[in-house]
Structures are given as structure tokens and as C-alpha cells.
Amino acid sequence: MSDEIYFIAGARPNFMKIAPLVHQSVEQGIKFKIIHTGQHYDYNMSRIFFENLNIPEPDHYLNAGSGTHAYQTAKVMIEFEKLLLIEKPKLVVVVGDVNSTIACALVAKKLFVDVAHVEAGLRSFDRKMPEEINRVLTDQISDLLFTSEKDAEINLENEGIEEQKIFFVGNVMIDTLITNLEKAKLLDTYKSFGLLKNEYALITLHRPSNVDIKEDLIKIVDALNYLTERIKVFFPVHPRTNKNLIGFGLYDQLISENLIIAEPVGYLDFLNLMINSKLILTDSGGIQEEASYLGIPILTLRENTERPITVENGTNTIIGRDFDLLKRYINDILASKYKKGQEIEGWDGKAARRIMEIIKKKYFDINTDV
């Protein structure tokens, strides 16, 4: 067994979550390797994040690519097992809830390598979401469970996870945001698209429940057209969404001059677009957190959220399929009648430090004050 930790990253949100852990490992003198599973393989959804976040190139690239959930998960497992059979790290650190998360956790545990799950305990309580399955199963086999909000701790305890495995540490996504906020403010990304500060809406959509069924996507297109009648809209289109807009013949229905459609952008550019926007419409989990920290009104096109703190203390509202409710909240935001949100415990830029101090104490026999 080596003296290294493996950080697993496979999809766009993972890179933001491992970045502060990597930086803290360097600062605390902990050896590590970055394993890129290749779940996201588009340049703007993968490689550019390593450049933006100032983290080293991956030590290993598993080249999983796209495919069904079963195919993608199996491909990651097969390739990751080959790697672990050559050299076993002290600990495998997985983040979030993507297929790479559960795949690498399973392989590690079956080869008797401990697993730490960052962002443990988040629950939407919707087993139709593949991410929910990944979360629950990963938590059940993890040795260390690092939570970002108090509700997550309660969820884990209710599922029978031993208390001594659970650590409330805060939110690593917010660590990354805080680290990069000033750099993002210096960019002119929003201006380069002809946008004016606080005078546009930012849209992201990618979940199968929203974009894979034509009838549902038609309703979302109608909602976007309603929004463009009131404010300029910037829409960096996810590859999955782009494919279905083309396949369903819906691009012709997005006809407003107030709508700017673009390819996905890198992390710093997207952060610049966020902080200068009037409102955000999304189905992303991480963006709910980032917008809440920034105090930007955010409307989530989902029936539920695994991040309830963003609704309770943040600036998030769950819209579901209620497009009349969506229109009401759009009008409230544009009239400056929307909730402001408040400070959230543990979202202070120090979550990664707390995580790595716990790991250092447990796996490297070094006492630190946590």
C-alpha cells in the first residue's frame, strides 16, 4: 500500500470539489494522485477546469466516455480496478453523486481500500434520480462521510450510519467559489456576450427529466420564451440539451432576439456570468449552492432538491413543473420582491482544510487541531 490518496473526478462538478482538497493536500504535505475517469470528455466540461482551478493534470485518465448508466459505471469500474491492482492508495476520496463516484467507491471497497465521501448525506428522496441511487449506495460503504449541511447528518443517522464516521465540515464547492471570486470579477465575460450587469437571466439545463422528453422540453422552451419577453437571457447549452433541442426540432421555437445561445463555458467565465446576472434558472445541484452563497435569486426546475439548505437559508425556490409558479417568481424577482437569503453555517472557505486535517490525523498518525 502506498502513502498516497486518490482523488476521483469524472464530471464537471467534481473538478470544483476536488480543487480545494488538492490545494490543501499540497499545503499539508499529503501525497496524492488525481484520477480522471473521463465521464465528461468535452474540453469545456473537463480539461479547461483543471486550468481554471490551478490543479495539476490528472495522473491517470480512465477514458470512460459516454453511454448508458450501466455501461459507463462498468467501464469506470473495470479501468479503476486495473489501477488499484497495481498500487493501492491509503484512501480513495470520491465527491458528489455521479456514476464515477459509486463506481470507484465499489472497486475500492472490494479491494479493501478505505473510501471517503465528500458531500455525503445529501438526499432528494427521489429514487428515480440516478444520482440519488449513487448517493445512498456510496454512503453505505464509505468509511468517512463528510457533510456540507446539518440535514445531511440527520439523513445519514436515519440510514444507520455510525456517528463516528460522520463529520460536518462545510461545503467544498463554496471553498472553490471563494478562492476564485475575485479572479472571476476581473473578467469581462458577460460584456463579451453583449450583456449588461444585473440585466440578464442565466439558464442551465441538463437533467434527463427536463430535456429527454419532448413534451417536457417544449414546456421549458415556452418558459424561456416567456422569460425573454421580460429580460435578456444567456443560455450556455449542455451537449445533452443541445442534442435534444436539435432532435426534437425545437431550436426554431427559440426565436427571441433577447436570447443568446452559447456553448458551455469554463468555470471562471461561468462564475463571472453568475455574479453579474439578475436571476438564474437551473436544474443543477451545485449552482443552487453557488447562487445562494452569492445572494442571486435562483429558480430550480426540479420537483425536489438534495440541498434543502439552499431553500431554507439560501435564495433557491423549487419550481417543479409548475410553470405558473415560475412566471410568478420571475415577475417577483424582476420587481425586486424576492427573498435575500442568509449566511449558511460552514460555507466559509475552510471545508477542505477541515477535511484534510481529519484525513491526516486518521491515516497519517499526525495530530492536528480540527
User: What does the pLDDT look like over 172-184, one tens digit per residue?
Assistant: 999 999 999 999 9
To which H or E segment does residue 161 belong?
none
Q: In terms of Cα–Cα distance, which of 49, 212, 56, 63 is closest to 129?
A: 212
Determine, yes or no, domain membership for 21: yes
Give Rg (Cα) of the chain: 20
Q: For residue 282, how far is the Cα from the chain centroid?
A: 12
| 84/144 same-domain check | yes
| 155/249 same-domain check | no
To which H or E segment does residue 131 belong?
helix 130-141
| 319/352 same-domain check | no
| Domains of the chain: total | 2
Q: How confident is the model at residue 46 (pLDDT cuts 50, 70, 90)?
A: low
Q: Is 206 a catalytic residue?
A: yes
User: What are the tens digits of pLDDT across the range 269-292?
Assistant: 999 999 999 999 999 999 999 999
Determine, yes or no, domain membership for 341: no
| 129/276 same-domain check | no
Distances (CA, A) of 68 to 73, 75, 187, 283, 291: 8, 10, 37, 20, 31
The single residue listed with the C-alpha cell 443543477 is 284
**What pLDDT was estimated at residue 256?**
87
Determine, yes or no, domain membership for 339: no
| 136/195 same-domain check | no
Q: In terms of Cα–Cα distance, which of 210, 222, 228, 281 is closest to 250?
A: 222
The single residue listed with the C-alpha cell 422569460 is 227
| 47/137 same-domain check | yes
pLDDT at 7 over 90: yes
| 279/354 same-domain check | no
Determine, yes or no, domain membership for 249: yes
Region of 223 (left: φ > 0; alpha: ψ -120 to 50; beta: rest) is: alpha
Domain holding 259: CATH number?
3.40.50.2000
What is d(CA 319, CA 189) in angstroms, rounded to the nearest whole number?
A: 28
What is d(CA 159, CA 301) in angstroms, rounded to the nearest whole number?
A: 28
pLDDT at 45 over 80: no
pLDDT at 367 over 70: no
Domain range for 201 is: 180-334
| 154/200 same-domain check | no
Determine, yes or no, domain membership for 321: yes
Contact status, residue 164 vs residue 145, Cβ threshold 8 Å = no
Contact status, residue 40 vs residue 46, Cβ threshold 8 Å = yes
DSSP 71-121: HHHHHHHHHHHHHHHH---SEEEEETTSHHHHHHHHHHHHTT-EEEEETTT
Distances (CA, A) of 27 to 36, 90, 94, 176, 190: 22, 18, 20, 15, 34
| 40/96 same-domain check | yes
Residues 90-98 have a mean pLDDT of: 97
Contact status, residue 307 vs residue 282, Cβ threshold 8 Å = no
| 187/328 same-domain check | yes
Distances (CA, A) of 278 to 93, 190, 257: 36, 12, 18
Determine, yes or no, domain membership for 117: yes
Catalytic residue among 23, 60, 117, 206: 206
Q: Which amino acid, 152?
A: A
Contact status, residue 120 vs residue 142, Cβ threshold 8 Å = yes
Determine, yes or no, domain membership for 343: no
pLDDT at 41 over 90: no
To which H or E segment does residue 130 belong?
helix 130-141
pLDDT at 370 over 70: no
Q: Which amino acid, 297?
A: P
**What pLDDT was estimated at residue 40?**
62
| 118/223 same-domain check | no
Determine, yes or no, domain membership for 162: yes
Bigger pLDDT: 20 or 264?
A: 20
**What pLDDT was estimated at residue 180?**
96
To which H or E segment does residue 351 belong?
helix 351-363
| 213/125 same-domain check | no
Residues 89-106 have a mean pLDDT of: 97
Q: Supply 162's cell numbers.
A: 455510525
Say how many Å lie between the first and final Cα of the chain, rounded: 26
